[in-house]
Chain A
Amino acid sequence: NAGVTQTPKFQVLKTGQSMTLQCAQDMNHNSMYWYRQDPGMGLRLIYYSASEGTTDKGEVPNGYNVSRLNKREFSLRLESAAPSQTSVYFCASSEGQGSNTEAFFGQGTRLTVV
């Protein structure tokens, strides 16, 4: 059981380049999330998708776009990367409803923008 899979694991971009981070889950979860993790800032929500066909902004959406391609996949796109977007990115999924909701996380993508 793979759970939540992110690709790539590492990436170096030049300022202004674009890229898409891929995320897929095999748990038939309704909700999916993208977070960034920075020292001292914790995990900050970039975008989330409560269910297939919907996406919403989180706490720090500027500079990012997302696509919920289907129930399994949720991608994060950086159109024009900036050094401030250097971070570790985590994708997560959950059933989305109910107080027993548990989020399952991918292994993370370490992105460096130079």
Chain B
Amino acid sequence: AQRVTQPEKLLSVFKGAPVELKCNYSYSGSPELFWYVQYSRQRLQLLLRHISRESIKGFTADLNKGETSFHLKKPFAQEEDSAMYYCALLYSSASKIIFGSGTRLSIRP
């Protein structure tokens, strides 16, 4: 079955420390993966997509098909990174998007 797994419900790190939010997926086809972020009192919004291989707000994510992972990383955490982060998988043939259970990132000053 297709699935997105985020094993950490909460991740708390100090400002300036590296951050890694884990995401693993299960999908028989070629995956299209995304990271979405929800800041306090704001709408859920796209952070980055694997196909673009971009860095947004210092975050990067690399698709590892061998490990079926798409972990989100940032070398130096900032307080404004505190938010809820969701990993998402798109079934492009069906236009269907499923999300993981989310990880709440808390950056301590």
Inter-chain contact B32/A43, CB cutoff 8 Å: no
B49 at the interface (CB under 8 A from A): yes
CB closest chain-B residue, reference A102: B46
Inter-chain contact A99/B49, CB cutoff 8 Å: yes
A101 at the interface (CB under 8 A from B): yes
- Which one, B34, B44, B95, B100, contacts A30 given CB within 8 A? B95
Q: Chain B: how many interface residues by the 8 Å CB criterion?
A: 25
| Bound complex: CA A107 to CA B89 (Å) | 21
Our count of residue pairs bridging A and B at CB distance below 8 angstroms stands at: 69
B43 at the interface (CB under 8 A from A): yes
Q: Chain A: how many interface residues by the 8 Å CB criterion?
A: 31
Inter-chain contact A106/B95, CB cutoff 8 Å: no
> Can you sample 21 A-B contacts with CB below 8 Å?
A31-B95, A40-B101, A42-B6, A43-B86, A45-B96, A45-B97, A45-B99, A48-B95, A56-B94, A94-B95, A96-B95, A97-B95, A99-B90, A99-B92, A100-B51, A101-B97, A103-B36, A103-B46, A105-B43, A106-B43, A107-B43
A residues with a Cβ closer than 8 A to B are 30-31, 33, 35, 40-45, 48, 50-51, 56, 58-59, 90, 92, 94, 96-103, 105-108
B residues with a Cβ closer than 8 A to A are 6, 9, 32, 34, 36, 43-46, 49, 51-52, 86, 88, 90, 92, 94-102
